[in-house]
Amino acid sequence: MKLNTIKLTNFRNYEKLCLEFNNHLNVIYGNNGAGKTNLVEAIYFLSITKSFRTNNDKMLIKNGELSTKIEGEVEEDTKNNYQVILNKEGKKVKINNNIVRKVSDYITNINIVLLEPEEQMIFNASPQVRRKLLNIEISKLEKEYIIYLNNYNVILKQRNFYLRDLYINGNASKDYLNILTQKLIDWGLKIYELRLKFINKINEYLSIKYQEIYKEGDLFIKYSSDYNNKTKDEINEMYEKNYNREIALGKTLYGIHHDDLIFYLDKKDISEWGSNGQKKNAIFAFKLAEIELIKEQNNILPILILDDLFSALDNKKIKNIIALLNDNIQTFITTTELNRINKKLLSKASIFKVNKGLVEEEEYGR
Ligand SMILES: Nc1ncnc2c1ncn2[C@@H]1O[C@H](COP(=O)(O)OP(=O)(O)O)[C@@H](O)[C@H]1O
Ligand SMILES: [Mg+2]
């Protein structure tokens, strides 16, 4: 899968930008604050209509403007044009100029794997951050996932409201709570199954990839969920036994909204024991494993983005890592230090110099 072109209108610090990309390697360089991450953020946003830096889409619109548009041509077997238009009212997405109403029909089309420096924070962040990673990665692979997740969240909200109603109205019947619990379990199990499948698959590749980077080490993700190793009846029982506690607290105490991922390196929890370097390598190994998974499941090579290469990866390993990259995988690298990238690699790349929202393509060696 290749991104041939991108066209931005009023995105972050870009007023108008039109670029043609290289099929293999694209190196984007410039000073801090120039707009390098903004550019790869636009590519990422085109793919999944979300930013990796903010949950507030309005931040993406150039200051003082009312809307932004990101447009790109993506080539797989055929060429297709993708568009995201964002304004105060919300987002619109189009494929070949036709509006796509269901997000799930859009976001499974352009497959991107992104590595950025902040990401190593996920190990020590709240479980919510790790669930977000999981949600994004799975929704790229499984069309139904986002629909299940939306349905689950709707029921979860209703159930929490109803628990508070029951608290006020102590004598009300629990029949409706039972119905909501059943629905919660049904959607929850669908999500659980897809999460489990994803994590099992990632685990098949994880250690291999970690060892390719680091030569040794056994990396493994444990999926921690209230639904782990339980039959549907046992899950039911877990809720029923705790109705009174849930009513007293006014919230749903069990379910996939509490799921978490725990990364173990050589059987030790990496969030507690891992060095910074190990964390960087672990998250990179996760991304490489994901590439394998996308290859296996969708039979395509995703687009790879390495934002701020020398901070995202462990310095000592960068040479190995670049050598690992498959020639056929279209890669975007951003950096402040062009001269640290291998000359042979640069000679095959397209090089873009970014300065205050302006981008110039450079001939190598000039
Ligand atoms: N919505 C926006 N409108 C205009 N400029 C923005 C907006 N959001 C961010 N910027 C500017 O973009 C620049 C940061 O760009 P970024 O891509 O993060 O830099 P870097 O090249 O270091 O990765 C800052 O100068 C910031 O002021
Ligand atoms: Mg940056």
For the chain, the structural domain boundaries read: 1-111+300-366, 127-298
Query: In the predicted model, what is the mean pLDDT of residues 113-130?
Result: 93
The Cα 329–Cα 301 span in angstroms is: 6
The Cα 15–Cα 311 span in angstroms is: 28
Query: In the predicted model, what is the mean pLDDT of residues 6-18?
Result: 98
Band of residue 320 on the pLDDT scale cut at 50, 70, 90: low
Q: If you average pLDDT over every residue of the chain, what do you get?
A: 93
Cα of 324 from ligand 2 centre, angstroms: 23
Residues with a CB atom less than 6 Å from ligand 1: 12-13, 30, 32-38, 59, 61-63
Atom 9 of ligand 1, nearest CA residue: 12
Percent of the chain with pLDDT over 70: 98
The residue with tokens 């964390």 is 279
Q: Where are the beta strands (DSSP E) in the chain?
A: 2-11, 14-20, 25-29, 67-75, 79-87, 90-95, 98-99, 112-115, 219-224, 260-265, 268-269, 303-306, 331-335, 350-355, 358-362
Report the residue among 11, 12, 63, 306 best suited for mutation to probe ligand 1: largest number of ligand atoms under 8 A from its CB. 12
Q: Which pLDDT does position 296 carry in this prediction?
A: 94
Q: Which pLDDT does position 309 carry in this prediction?
A: 87
Q: From its phi and psi, is residue 151 left (phi > 0), alpha (psi between -120 and 50) or beta? A: alpha
Q: Which pLDDT does position 365 carry in this prediction?
A: 66
Q: Which CATH architecture has domain 1-111+300-366?
A: 3-Layer(aba) Sandwich (3.40)
**Is-contact 42 8, C-beta < 8 A?**
yes
Query: In the predicted model, what is the mean pLDDT of residues 306-315?
Result: 85
Residue 143 pLDDT greater than 80, yes or no: yes
pLDDT 10s digits, 208-264 = 999 988 888 999 999 999 999 999 999 999 999 999 999 999 999 999 999 999 999
- 127-298 has which CATH code? 1.20.1050.90
Locate 310 and state its tokens: 């020398």
